[in-house]
């Protein structure tokens, strides 16, 4: 998937629209880098032997990395000027290396706001071969086209 370089217009989005799917190729490096970047030094996110001793078959992705990929999924679809105003997630199965994480979702609501700021609600999930790793809802803010032109 390629990242959108233009932001979607609120008026062009409809309830029921499918969000462009995103597949993340999960590697050991991605998991370790995400843990380091989020300053999560818990060994289960970078030390396979430690994770094995804790009963896990492998090291696994931390919640902050998962959050980041949820936001990426949403903004890759909506565009660079979309703002994630609310993100509510529930973790499910672990995310291990060499098991791609596939995000899917759809628009479940639209609200016209004040001052040109309008909102879109999206329900989504990120799944791998074990099931749903993450599921949730998000509210994105999209400025109306007239306001975007005035700011440019």
Q: Does 88 map to a domain?
A: yes
144 has pLDDT over 70: no
Strand pairing report for 101-111 and 18-24: antiparallel
Q: Is residue 150 part of a domain?
A: no
Domain range for 96 is: 10-143
Please give the tally of structural domains in the chain.
1
How confident is the model over 72-119, as pLDDT tens digits?
999 999 999 999 999 999 999 999 999 999 999 999 999 999 888 999
Flag whether 107 is in a domain.
yes
Q: What's the pLDDT at 114?
A: 87
For range 15-30, the mean pLDDT:
98
Judge contact between 35 and 63, C-beta under 8 A. Answer: no
Question: What pairs with residue 119 in β-bridges?
Answer: 111, 141
How confident is residue 149, by pLDDT bands cut at 50, 70 and 90? very low
Indicate whether 151 belongs to any domain. no
CATH, residue 96: 3.10.129.10
């Amino acid at each position: 998937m390629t990242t959108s370089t233009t932001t979607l217009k609120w008026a062009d989005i409809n309830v029921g629209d499918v969000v462009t799917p995103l597949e993340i190729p999960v590697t050991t490096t991605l998991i370790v880098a995400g843990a380091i970047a989020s300053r999560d030094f818990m060994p289960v996110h970078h030390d396979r032997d430690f994770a094995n001793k804790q009963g896990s078959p492998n090291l696994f992705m931390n919640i902050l990395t998962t959050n980041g990929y949820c936001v990426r999924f949403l903004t890759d679809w909506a565009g660079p000027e979309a703002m994630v105003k609310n993100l509510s997630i529930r973790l499910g199965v672990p995310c291990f290396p060499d098991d791609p994480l596939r995000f899917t979702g759809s628009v479940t609501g639209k609200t016209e706001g004040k001052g040109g700021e309008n909102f879109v609600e999206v329900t989504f999930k990120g799944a791998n071969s074990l099931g749903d790793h993450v599921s949730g809802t998000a509210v994105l803010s999209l400025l109306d086209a007239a306001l975007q032109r005035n700011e440019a």
